[in-house]
Amino acid sequence: MPTIDYEKIRTEIRGLVDDVIRPNAEKIDAEGIFPRENLLALAKAGWNGVLIPEEYGGLGLDHVAFAIAAEEIGRACASTGLVYVMHTGAVQTINLFGNPDQKERWLKPARDGLIGTYSTSEKASGGHWWFNFSQAAWDGGEHYRLNAEKSFTTSAGQADYYLFQTRSPGALGPTDISFFIVDSKLDGISHGSWEALGVRGNHSGPISYQNVRVHSRDRLGAEGQGKDIVYHGVSPVYLIGLGAVWHGVARSALERAADHLTATHHRDFDRKLSDYQVLRQQLGESKVLVESLKPWQNELARQLDRLQEAGQPQGQILIPLTEFKVHAAEVANISARNALDVSGGYGYKKGPLERIFRDARAGIGMGPSNNIAREWIGKVLVGLPLELFEAGGE
Ligand SMILES: Cc1cc2nc3c(=O)[nH]c(=O)nc-3n(C[C@H](O)[C@H](O)[C@H](O)COP(=O)(O)OP(=O)(O)OC[C@H]3O[C@@H](n4cnc5c(N)ncnc54)[C@H](O)[C@@H]3O)c2cc1C
């Protein structure tokens, strides 16, 4: 791959974010609007195909560039950032596991605004989103029938296709998983609404799939290959993207807090807020944590690129990617909390800091939740197996 100028990439995406995404952020949050206009602007400039090879109409860039884009979008609007990451994750999973016909039909139209997302989580297994109880059935001829109650799907009712995870027909256990690319316009699909504390524009509501008939040409990979796809397709790109969005959110809280401190003046003692050491201390705490994310993000993204180039499974760095996700989500929350504290009543009022504070909470619970993730990390550290699929219920 030719050398990529990452500073140029950052300048370009920052320009688009400043022109389109940042001005929309407050309205998206206040009215719970899906960020369609932002996604279309990103598509037009090629960003929705950042990882799609040029032969399928994409920019053919790498994970470092993708992470920069996700970070810059998250810096302005976390809702848009999450929709963008789920879309790019769906696209990259098709890029890695799809056949030429699927790439032609599902990747090429990304430049015109076609949006994908992941539909994996089910209420019955909660945050163990890799563990499904739903099961596909053969429907004679060349079709499958899909039935499932998916508990959360970002861009529910808005995406053009869902990367749908379920047990294979006749599966004997939870590891026998298959993936399908499901056109969201098919009969039998309905979605619920999304009313939540934060990321109010990302529409991560429930979806009901009732006897949805899907042609076998839209099965992604082979029947039963789903476990591989979870580890080496869905998870790596999702985790680096998710961490990058929370990195952007953390940085934004810090920048806005610093601006507030330098711009606010108390006339009684003729002092700016930035003259108080106790407030500068909090900015200092956030700054150290935020800066820890940048080199880590770059290094993990580079590793993903090296593995992809070498044709090696990207899931081998699942635990480091998970550690990065946990840390980025925690740092976003600390940075948002500090920002609210140092900006007093003005930070507490409805507006950007209060929005960021609410948005950041989503990072803690999004799969793998920080609780589940720490459990994975700890188990690996002491040499215990992850046992992701060895639950009691069938
Ligand atoms: C904003 C947002 C966007 C999302 N987008 C998508 C999407 O695009 N696609 C999709 O498929 N899903 C999506 N999800 C779902 C998400 O990945 C989780 O599956 C979901 O949030 C789990 O919620 P729950 O209430 O079922 O969790 P529960 O599993 O019931 O968790 C409740 C509590 O128990 C803890 N817990 C659960 N299991 C363990 C364990 N083994 N060890 C330690 N602690 C544990 C959790 O950390 C949490 O604190 C999204 C969720 C949110 C909030």
pLDDT in tens, 164-220: 999 999 999 999 999 999 999 999 999 999 999 999 999 999 999 999 999 999 999
Regarding beta strands 207-215 and 161-167, do their DSSP bridges make them parallel or antiparallel, or are they unpaired?
Answer: unpaired
pLDDT digits (tens, 9 = 90+) for 299-309: 999 999 999 99
- pLDDT of 196: 97
- pLDDT of 391: 65
- CATH (residue range 119-220): 2.40.110.10
Of 47, 251, 228, 82, nearest to 155 (Cα)? 82
Domain ranges of the chain: 6-115, 119-220, 226-381
pLDDT digits (tens, 9 = 90+) for 327-365: 999 999 999 999 999 999 999 999 999 999 999 999 999
Instruction: Give the H or E element holding residue 43.
Output: helix 36-44
Alpha helices in 220-276 (DSSP H): 226-229, 235-263
DSSP secondary structure of 17-41: IIIIIHHHHHHHHHHT---HHHHHH
pTM here? 0.97
206 CA distance to ligand 1 middle (Å): 13
Tokens of 17: 């974010």
- CATH (residue range 226-381): 1.20.140.10
Q: Is pLDDT at 392 greater than 60 in this prediction? A: no
372 CA distance to ligand 1 middle (Å): 9
Instruction: Please count the other Cβ atoms lying within 10 Å of the Cβ belonging to residue 278.
Output: 8
Mean pLDDT for 151-166 is: 98
- CATH (residue range 6-115): 1.10.540.10
* CA separation for the pair 186, 184 (Å, rounded): 6
Which of 166, 195, 369 to mutate to test ligand 1, by most ligand atoms within 8 A of the CB atom?
Answer: 369
Which of 85, 121, 151, 387 to mutate to test ligand 1, by most ligand atoms within 8 A of the CB atom?
Answer: 121
Which of 91, 326, 366 to mutate to test ligand 1, by most ligand atoms within 8 A of the CB atom?
Answer: 366
Atom of ligand 1 nearest to the CA of 121: 11
- pLDDT of 394: 43
Nearest CA to ligand 1 atom 41: 372
